[in-house]
């Protein structure tokens, strides 16, 4: 039976749909981040493989040019290493996105490691490094960082003795990532073929979780599922899921052609849904679609 997706207003309007300055290439991670502190979201390509410098590189196309102009191409302090997650987030709170590397495999102390190259040094200096977790974790779980600089771990696989729950751990920045807070919420009645991510902004202890399903075979639509607080408690004692169904061109639906994520592009209360298409594009360039 097809799932019951309630009607909703979000994600019905395409606010941006263009090719970009970047050639279609998939040797790293594409994302959005404020790289210059002006409050807008630039398109960022963190190149982690096949770089000419032998280092991880950052390539930026700025928001002001509608991603048509390359405003930064720089090698960073990081050696090529594919044992974790790279992302752009303002970890130190200066308004500019830092380059964050969460190393989850092949670490010296067999722990998860956090490494931060700060924007102020042009990503040439490791401003913060620490071991953050000595316990076990799932290989297919998601590691990311909230807008507050807290580290977030999402385990959507088998969680302990209760496979019906999703586990969310937050390692707080104020404790230098040594304090761990835990929250659980009910699993979605769907498979794990989609993308898990968090809201681009976070005002409470735990960020809202988003699950983006690229194509529901019953509806032929992209689905966005967001967890929400029913009582507004900072302890998140009562959670639920709200779902939105979105009609997009069929060429955008395959997950393997790019990356889905939530982004604060239009600066509305509800974050925007973004798709960065990196393969099989008509233009031969990386293409961006943003739906509000």
In the chain, the domains with their CATH numbers are 14-291 (2.115.10)
Q: Quote the CA–CA distance of 94 and 56 in Å, as a whole number.
A: 22
Residue 269 has pLDDT above 90, yes or no: no
Residue 139 has pLDDT above 90, yes or no: no
Q: Are 271 and 201 in contact (CB under 8 A)?
A: yes
Per-residue DSSP letter, 61? E
Q: pLDDT averaged over the chain?
A: 85
Residue 154 has pLDDT above 80, yes or no: yes
Give how far Cα 124 sits from Cα of 118, 232, 272, Å: 8, 41, 32
Contacts 24+ apart (CB under 8 A), 39-42: 40/64, 41/263, 41/264, 41/265, 42/67, 42/71
Q: Which residue has the higher pLDDT, 274 or 242?
A: 274
Q: Are 223 and 232 in contact (CB under 8 A)?
A: no
| Residues in CB range of 220: below 8 A, 6 or more apart | none
Residue 254 has pLDDT above 80, yes or no: no
**Of the candidates 185, 197, 282, 202, which has an alpha carbon nearest to the alpha carbon of residue 241?**
185
Residue 96 has pLDDT above 90, yes or no: yes
Residue 160 has pLDDT above 70, yes or no: no
Residue 217 has pLDDT above 70, yes or no: no
Q: Quote the CA–CA distance of 272 and 201 in Å, as a whole number.
A: 11
For 33-55, what is each residue's pLDDT tens digit? 999 999 999 999 999 999 999 99
Position 4 scores a pLDDT of 38
Per-residue DSSP letter, 218? T
Position 239 scores a pLDDT of 55
Number of H helices and E strands in the chain, helices first, is 0, 20
Q: Which residue has the higher pLDDT, 3 or 228?
A: 228
For 233-244, what is each residue's pLDDT tens digit? 344 444 567 777
Phi-psi region of 93 (alpha: psi -120 to 50; beta: other; left: phi over 0): left
Q: Which residue has the higher pLDDT, 249 or 138?
A: 138
Q: Are 286 and 19 in contact (CB under 8 A)?
A: yes
Position 230 scores a pLDDT of 43
pTM, to two decimals: 0.88
Position 229 scores a pLDDT of 54
| Extended beta strands in the chain, E state | 14-23, 28-33, 42-47, 55-61, 70-79, 84-89, 98-103, 112-117, 126-133, 142-145, 151-155, 165-171, 180-186, 195-198, 209-213, 222-229, 239-246, 258-263, 272-277, 285-291
Give how far Cα 226 sits from Cα of 181, 231, 240, Å: 20, 15, 8
Residue 196 has pLDDT above 50, yes or no: yes
Q: Which residue has the higher pLDDT, 247 or 171?
A: 171
The two three-digit tokens of residue 221, written as one number: 């639509």
At residue 232 the predicted structure's pLDDT band, cuts being 50, 70 and 90, is very low
Position 17 scores a pLDDT of 92
**Of the candidates 125, 118, 132, which has an alpha carbon nearest to the alpha carbon of residue 169?**
132
Q: Quote the CA–CA distance of 237 and 64 in Å, as a whole number.
A: 41
**Of the candidates 202, 204, 212, 210, which has an alpha carbon nearest to the alpha carbon of residue 255?**
212
128 beta partners:
116
For 64-88, what is each residue's pLDDT tens digit? 999 999 999 999 999 999 999 999 9
């Amino acid at each position: 039976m097809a799932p019951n997706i309630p009607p909703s207003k979000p994600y019905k309007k395409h606010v941006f749909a263009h090719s970009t300055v970047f050639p279609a290439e998939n040797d790293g991670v594409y994302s959005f981040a404020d790289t210059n502190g002006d409050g807008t979201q630039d398109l960022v390509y963190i190149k982690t493989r096949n770089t000419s410098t032998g280092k991880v590189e950052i390539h930026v196309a700025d928001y002001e040019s509608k991603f048509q102009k390359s405003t930064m191409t720089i090698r960073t302090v990081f050696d090529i290493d594919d044992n974790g997650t790279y992302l752009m987030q303002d970890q130190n709170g200066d308004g500019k996105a830092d380059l964050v590397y969460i190393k989850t495999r092949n670490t010296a102390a067999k722990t998860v490691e956090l490494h931060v190259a700060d924007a102020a040094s042009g990503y040439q200096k490791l401003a913060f490094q620490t071991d953050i977790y000595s316990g076990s974790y799932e290989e297919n779980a998601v590691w990311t960082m909230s807008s507050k600089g807290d580290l977030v771990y999402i385990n959507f696989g088998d969680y302990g003795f209760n496979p019906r729950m999703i586990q969310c751990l937050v390692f707080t920045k104020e404790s230098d990532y040594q304090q761990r807070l835990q929250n659980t919420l009910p699993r979605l009645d769907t498979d794990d073929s989609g993308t898990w991510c968090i809201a681009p902004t976070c005002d409470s202890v735990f960020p809202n979780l988003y699950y983006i399903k690229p194509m529901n075979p019953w509806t032929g639509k992209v689905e966005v599922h967001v967890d929400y607080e029913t009582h507004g408690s900072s302890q998140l004692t009562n959670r639920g899921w709200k779902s939105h169904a979105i009609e997009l061109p069929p060429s955008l639906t395959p997950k393997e052609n790019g990356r889905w994520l939530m982004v604060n592009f239009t600066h509305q209360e509800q974050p925007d849904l973004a798709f960065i298409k990196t393969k099989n594009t008509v233009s031969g360039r990386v293409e961006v679609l943003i739906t509000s």
